[in-house]
Structure 1
Amino acid sequence: MSLQVPSPLISEAWLFQHLDNPSLLILDATIPKVGAKKSDVIKKKFQIKNALFFDLNDFSDADAPFPNTMVSPEKFQEKARKFGIQKEQCIVVYDDLGIYSSPRVWWMFQLMGFTNIAVLDGGFPAWKAQNYPIEKPREKKLSEGNFTSNYQSQKISFVDDILENLNSNESLILDARSEGRFYGTEPEPRKEVKSGRIPKSVSLPHTTILTGTKMKSKQELQTVFQSKNPSYKPMIFSCGSGITASVLALSAEIAEIKNHSVYDGSWTEWGILPNLPIEIYHEK
């Protein structure tokens, strides 16, 4: 039996303990933070030993009008096999910012029915702080994989689902963007996107569920979600383009909350498409 992750979030000590396990696959999912200037993006010098770079752009729909749009299950399977991913593997994903883009990859695999995957708590900063093995990035080629998609449609929401929810109010929409973007007091990083929020949505900036670069404890996360969602409604997570909404999805899973999905188009889609209702507040 291959190595199994003990939870959706694993420590640097756990990863170090299993670093040389033959069934372990480490994925570096680092992307620049949204709105970062090109001059602020530093070329990667080091990565965790044995890691492979997982390009989120390559696993997103290049023909879609909005960034980070999920590809079809068939296309994901094709790309995963070409990458070399085996269905028997144990995957750990991390990023250089701590917990930012790595949960998106975790969620993508969850969406495709693959559950033996975890996010490294604290990411590369936590790993480096322990002086665990690092190396310079290098090209590594894997043989053809046998990954199989098993699409879990309940884990993803689309614009029609959001519109339907405006009438039914069955689910709670939690927005992972900053409060400034949620309330319309600061501009969107993408100039073509309007300011505001989805009606009836609630602000939960992804940074509030973190302590530094690490995720808050299970108990703390349960308290956060209970305060935002006292009626225990199903939750739909939104953000700018699906990245930090996936951070909320990961935190909900850690809090043992299962009934949730990610709005794939998120605010970039909602703020661009015409004739969609928008709420905007200049004061909280």
Structure 2
Amino acid sequence: MSTNPFLVSPDALVTEMRNGVVKIVDASWYLPPQNRDAKAEFLQAHIPGAVFFDQDSVVDATSPYPHTLPSQDHFAQAAGALGIAQTDTIVVYDGAGLFSAPRVWWLFRTFGAVNVRILDGGFPEWKKAGLATESGEASPEECEFTVHFQPQSVVDLPQMRDLVQERQTQIADARSAERFQGLAPEPRPGVRSGHMPGAHSLPYTSLQENGRLKEPEELREAFAAAGIDPNEPVVTSCGSGVTAAVITLALATLNNPQSRLYDGSWTEWGSQTDTPVETGPGE
């Protein structure tokens, strides 16, 4: 059984549910090629008592880029409407195992929730254990979520420009090696292929196995293979800020002293006309 303080096993979650001390969040989200409808799947089956967090709507609606950080008021309103307060014990999961849940785990923590964990293995592991599910819409009792924003957990475009130019902070890119190297086109139109100068390729898939986060020693090996020291500051990035949070979770597991997530990620960087872009294997 994992001793990771950021994960909870299905059995342990069942116990917490019986004690009535946990709020459960379905954070499923999928890329178009995955051909899955997260909300439709939630309506068909989800963990009893779970609410659905829509990662396409709890965003900055004025931004041209996907999954950009919502305003503090918007997040507080969305979380409160789901019946979640910043003081609650929160468990987040997704339908792929470990794909989109870390992003919502990071969001809640960034906006001030203090006890947020991820279901180890996600909904697939829950179903594999033969545990109960329910269907239909959730009907949470609204409450107040008081934001305590953590600006040190996020990087914006101007900051990212400085970091790339200074080359003093490690950058970990969670996209596939093919996209990182510029060998595969980006899925969004108008986005150049390649990576930020000085970035390291660390596909999020290298940090998990069968939808579960790897053990600490295996995580250290993955970081070392990517040329990243997990004991030093790291900025995480990906396509649109979702799977970057898998790296963020791995770094938290290894007690990284300073991990930040580049919210706009490659969609924002690769859409600019003046940001430097490199191809090939990188650092």
Normalised TM-score (structure 1): 0.91
The one-letter amino acid of 2:248's match is A
The answer to whether 1:80 aligns with 2:79 is yes
Alignment map for 1:181-220 (pairs within 5 Å): 181-220=179-218
Match of 2:19, SS? coil
Identity of aligned residues (%): 35
The one-letter amino acid of 2:221's match is T
Q: Which 5+ residue runs of structure 1 have no aligned equivalent?
A: none
Encode CA deviations 1:237-256: one digit per residue, 9 max, x unaligned.
00000000011101111111
**How many positions carry a matched residue from both structures?**
277
CA contact 1:170–1:234 (8 Å) conserved in 2: no
- 2:48 corresponding residue in structure 1: 49
Equivalent-residue separation in structure 2 for 1:213 and 1:282 (angstroms)? 26
CA contact 2:26–2:52 (8 Å) conserved in 1: yes
Equivalent-residue separation in structure 2 for 1:248 and 1:259 (angstroms)? 13
- 1:172 corresponding residue in structure 2: 170
Equivalent-residue separation in structure 2 for 1:21 and 1:231 (angstroms)? 36
CA contact 1:170–1:233 (8 Å) conserved in 2: no
Cα distance, 1:252–1:230 mapped onto 2, change above 3 Å: closer
- 2:276 corresponding residue in structure 1: 277
- 2:7 corresponding residue in structure 1: 9
Give the CA RMSD over aligned residues. Answer: 2.1
Q: Which 5+ residue runs of structure 2 have no aligned equivalent?
A: none
Normalised TM-score (structure 2): 0.91
Equivalent-residue separation in structure 1 for 2:211 and 2:46 (angstroms)? 17
Equivalent-residue separation in structure 2 for 1:166 and 1:88 (angstroms)? 36
Single out whichever of 259-268 and 187-196 deviates more from structure 2: 187-196
Encode CA deviations 1:12-47: one digit per residue, 9 max, x unaligned.
121122222322111111112x24265x54841211
The one-letter amino acid of 2:222's match is V
Alignment map for 1:21-100 (pairs within 5 Å): 21-32=19-30, 34-36=31-33, 38=35, 41=37, 43-44=40-41, 45-100=44-99
Equivalent-residue separation in structure 2 for 1:283 and 1:116 (angstroms)? 36
- 2:116 corresponding residue in structure 1: 117
Equivalent-residue separation in structure 2 for 1:79 and 1:125 (angstroms)? 26
Cα distance, 1:217–1:282 mapped onto 2, change above 3 Å: closer
Equivalent-residue separation in structure 2 for 1:233 and 1:214 (angstroms)? 24
Equivalent-residue separation in structure 2 for 1:215 and 1:127 (angstroms)? 15
The one-letter amino acid of 1:245's match is A
CA contact 1:104–1:243 (8 Å) conserved in 2: yes
The one-letter amino acid of 2:126's match is W
- 2:149 corresponding residue in structure 1: 151
Equivalent-residue separation in structure 1 for 2:159 and 2:108 (angstroms)? 21
Equivalent-residue separation in structure 2 for 1:108 and 1:236 (angstroms)? 16
Q: CA deviation at 1:6?
A: 7.5
Encode CA deviations 1:194-246: one digit per residue, 9 max, x unaligned.
10101100000000000111110122223333453248431000000000001
CA contact 1:166–1:200 (8 Å) conserved in 2: yes
Equivalent-residue separation in structure 2 for 1:41 and 1:86 (angstroms)? 27
- 1:240 corresponding residue in structure 2: 239
